[in-house]
Structure 1
Amino acid sequence: MKIVAITACPTGIAHTYMAADKLSDTAKKLGITIKVETQGAMGIENRLTEQDIHRADIVVMAADIRVEYGERFESKLCVNVSIQDALKKPQSIFSQCQKLMK
């Protein structure tokens, strides 16, 4: 399974980046390919390309604010979760993605 993800929190500092790391680490352990774009205080980092989005099976939006350029994902299957869920329950997010793919 190939996943792209966006992480964004209201202050755009610690939680945005911690959630990105947690999703990346958990995906690696589960054998899932993931690329995570962060939308934080430093702006958009690790920006997803059109090719990244096109190749993805599913999009995870771990955000407590409006994601910038969200229209990029209109044609994709999306799972919307909170930053806290990404930090505390990343494995459950991936399980939800797998169920949606079936």
Structure 2
Amino acid sequence: MRELAGRLAALDPDAGEAVRVIAYFDRLTAERAGLEALVRGAAVLAGSAARLADPVHGVRIRGEPDGRRVDGPARTPVPPTTDWPGVPLGPGGAR
């Protein structure tokens, strides 16, 4: 995968970066990483804070671009704020 990403980056840097991102999350999935690792990884790769808020399960995770987690699981449901981009998720994934 690294060799493919390197070759692709030489032809199209954006496509090469996309392949590296896919490989990163594939590796996390293969290692059965938890939600915190996925959110922190998204924040690091995006260079911006990332958040997962699941009021049904009382989960609230925010990761900073430096990889730090800045808040823990919520004890009470917290509705998502409108100032964060987001996608509602259902049992089968994004709606």
Is the TM value for this pair above 0.5?
no
If asked which structure has higher relative contact order (CA below 8 Å, sep 6+), I would say 1
Higher strand share: 1
State TM-score, norm by structure 1.
0.30
State TM-score, norm by structure 2.
0.31
